[in-house]
Amino acid sequence: MRLRNPEFLLLFILWIPMIWVYLNRERKYRPAVRFSDLSAVKKLPPSFFVRARHVLLALRLLGTGLLIVALARPQEGRTDEEVSTEGVDIMLILDISASMKAMDFQPDNRLTVAKQTIIDFTGKRQHDRIGLVVFGARSFTKCPLTLDYNILSQFISEVTFTEFSSQTAIGTAIVTAANRLKDSNAKSRVMVLLTDGANNAGEIPPVTAAKAAGELGIKIYTIGVGKEGMVPIPVEMRNPFTGEVVQQIQKIESDLDERTLEEIASTTGGKFFRAKNAEKLKEIYDQIDKLEKTEIKTTIYTSYNERFYAWLWAGFVLLMLELVLQHTRFRRIP
């Protein structure tokens, strides 16, 4: 709400002479009809209408006040925002090979921690299209580029190990994600590749796939997860006599290929990160979130509608009421 012509509020100064004239008249007023003895009348309590005679002044002040506010033209504004963005298209590439079952990110395995961290990351983005590619021995698109983050989070939550989780095809995963980004018109096209192993499947070398993505203007951030050395991993064992399947914890050697991940990132203008625990992994996604910011331009439009009609009519009604009462119930005999 605003006043289009607030200078008219200076007219409230007219209240001063109006009050002065009224008080001066009350002080000088003398009844025109005289009686020889008023002792009996003086004992009577004043009637309600005698005590309420000053309501005329209140009505006059309120009525003129409302008219003054109407002259100032109250207006109610409605604000509309036009948002234009130069967004970022992001393909998340998640390793679901069997080594992601390793329990070095206690109390959960690597995949569970990675999924929750990625969900938190997507929850911070706005106006960006985000998709998901998962890979083991093969790669496939779990979710295409989308602005529906609720659906994306659901897809991420559903990611689990499959029959293709025996090996790691990093190069194939990069190509799959590049096919989703190559026709994008976004200001920035990005891949975030998370893996804990070395490339040991697929026909496309990871660095070759990264160079092809770089030629398309796609930037790749690589994240290597897992501790170095021997790490615990659950393995299902079948009893040859009873056929019962039991789960045992065994130690395996972590085979993360940091050198290849660094080369993938540097080839495309990205950056390599190393996460040895859940806290560090969260920090890495926070860093990437800050590195890949969406440019948002907001234009604000405000339109105003006149709201002085109610004030005008209210002031007019009060002044008419004051005029009617002055010549009827509160009329004075000269």
pLDDT at residue 266 in the model: 96
CB 187 within 8 A of CB 87: yes
pLDDT at residue 27 in the model: 74
* DSSP conformation letters of 171-226: HHHHHHHHHHHTT---SEEEEEEEESS---SSSS-HHHHHHHHHHTTEEEEEEEES
pLDDT at residue 53 in the model: 67
pLDDT at residue 34 in the model: 56
CB 143 within 8 A of CB 176: no
Q: How far apart are CA 147 and CA 130, in angstroms?
A: 7
Domain boundary assignment for the chain: 2-26+47-79+302-326, 88-293
pLDDT at residue 50 in the model: 57
pLDDT at residue 334 in the model: 55
Pick the CATH number of 88-293 from 3.40.50.620, 3.30.1300.10, 3.40.50.1970, 3.40.50.410: 3.40.50.410
pLDDT at residue 331 in the model: 66
Stated pTM of the model: 0.64
CB 56 within 8 A of CB 258: no
List of the chain residues with pLDDT < 70: 28-53, 80-86, 294-301, 329-334
Q: Distance from CA of residue 318 to its chain's centroid?
A: 47
pLDDT at residue 97 in the model: 93
- CA torsion sign for 266, 225, 191, 209 is positive
Angle between helices 278-291 and 110-124 (to 10 degrees): 30
What backbone phi and psi angles, to 5 degrees, belong to 77?
-100, 150
pLDDT at residue 250 in the model: 86
pLDDT at residue 282 in the model: 94
